[in-house]
């Protein structure tokens, strides 16, 4: 990304506290006792860790969740078929899969414990019927570690990243459904993308830029369709208003279907975070 981001002015502390309290309230209301929810979140670019509002919202969300035994991450930034499991040993470097940012973002570390036991469990859940590959030198990409820097800054929860084996919504829903038992084992399943991601069509690179029409139209459609819990309508998102510009490629939207599958498809997702960053929708959801 060659464009320079132009940060907005600092948000008042009272506004940040109110935003955090709203997120925590929504997250708490969307939980069922004894079960880890599944979530879909907007991970954005590395500079999101410098956005005080997003940091306050994401930290409050993590604080309202039960503490996970491990995290299973599906990021928009790793497409590989068949389903591929990332590094299962500690010390594998992060993947700095971005360009044009200040040097400090390339010095970020996130030394989370490896999760070999979770990798074995995922393999068991996906077999038979789903081929599984391994990429032992593949560390966490920024779609995985950027939100985790805020949610679990101590890097003390084991993390396993798996690839997107396809961009087809119903197949990803079925993949998530196979992973659903992990939630009863305390595993937090995260689909990491961005609800609108039309970077080529942005003209205003202020972090508080108003959303283009295509971004707000797609966001409003998604909010309504998610609340209705209509999987087929969501899977037909290419017909949604603004879709052509909101998702010139679909990899940032479709991790949502892994989350929906892991969520069980019975309870509509609850929006925990909304609003915009660079005019792109930050809408993030939780499923009990």
For residue 8, what pLDDT is reported?
Answer: 59
CATH code, domain with 55:
3.40.830.10
d(CA 215, CA 198): 8
- Domain annotation covers residue 272: yes
Q: Extract the tokens encoding 266.
A: 């019975």
d(CA 79, CA 91): 22
Q: How would you write the chain as a 3-class SS string? A: CCCCCECCCCCCHHHHHHHHHHHHHHHHHCCCCCCCCEEEEECCCHHHHHCHHHHHHHHHHHHHCCCCCEEEEEEEEEECCCEEECCCCCCCCCECCCCCCCHHHHHCCCCCCCCHHHHHHHHHHHCCCCCEEECCCCCCEHHHHHHHHHHCCCCCCCEEEEEECCCCHHHHHHHHHHCHHHHHHCEEEEEEECCCCCHHHCCCCECCCCCCHHHHHHHHHHHHHHHHCCHHHHHCHHHCCCHHHHCCCCCCCCHHHHHHHHHCCCCCCEEEECCEECCEECCEEEEC
Give the residues of the chain that fall short of pLDDT 70. Answer: 1-10, 33
- Domain annotation covers residue 183: yes
Q: Are 246 and 215 in contact (CB under 8 A)?
A: yes
- Domain annotation covers residue 228: yes
- Domain annotation covers residue 6: no
- Domain annotation covers residue 24: no
For residue 260, what pLDDT is reported?
Answer: 96
- Domain annotation covers residue 23: no
- Domain annotation covers residue 173: yes
- Domain annotation covers residue 82: yes
| Percentage of residues in the chain having pLDDT higher than 90 | 77
Neighbours of 118 (CB within 10 A): 22
Residues 6 or more apart whose CB falls under 8 angstroms from that of 17 comprise: 56
Query: What is the span of the domain harbouring residue 146?
Result: 33-287
151-205 pLDDT, tens per residue?
Answer: 999 999 999 999 999 999 999 999 999 999 999 999 999 999 999 998 888 888 8
For residue 1, what pLDDT is reported?
Answer: 45
How many domains does the chain fold into? 1
């Amino acid at each position: 990304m060659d464009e320079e981001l132009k940060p907005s002015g600092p948000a008042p502390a009272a506004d940040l506290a109110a935003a955090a309290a709203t997120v925590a309230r929504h997250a708490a209301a969307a939980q069922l006792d004894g079960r880890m929810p599944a979530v879909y979140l907007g991970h954005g670019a590395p500079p999101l860790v410098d956005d005080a509002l997003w940091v306050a919202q994401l930290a409050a969300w993590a604080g309202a969740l039960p503490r996970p035994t491990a995290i299973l991450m599906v990021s928009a930034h790793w497409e590989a078929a068949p389903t591929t499991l990332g590094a299962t040993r500690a010390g594998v470097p992060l993947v700095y899969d971005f360009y044009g940012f200040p040097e400090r973002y390339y010095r970020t570390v996130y030394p989370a414990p490896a999760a070999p036991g979770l990798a074995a469990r995922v393999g068991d859940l996906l077999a038979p019927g789903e081929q599984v590959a391994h990429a032992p030198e593949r560390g966490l990409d920024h779609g995985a570690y950027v939100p985790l820097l805020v949610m679990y800054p101590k890097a003390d929860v084991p993390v396993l990243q798996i690839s997107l084996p396809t961009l087809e919504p119903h197949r990803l829903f079925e993949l998530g459904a196979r992973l659903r038992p992990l939630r009863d084992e305390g595993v937090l399943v995260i689909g990491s993308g961005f609800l609108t991601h039309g970077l080529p069509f942005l003209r205003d690179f202020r972090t508080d830029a108003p959303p283009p029409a295509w971004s707000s139209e797609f966001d409003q459609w998604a909010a309504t369709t998610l609340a209705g819990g209509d999987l087929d309508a969501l899977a037909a998102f290419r017909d949604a208003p603004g879709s052509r510009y909101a998702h010139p490629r679909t990899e940032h939207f479709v991790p949502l279907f892994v989350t929906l599958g892991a969520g069980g498809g019975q309870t509509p997702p609850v929006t925990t975070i909304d609003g915009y960053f660079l005019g792109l929708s930050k809408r993030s959801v939780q499923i009990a």
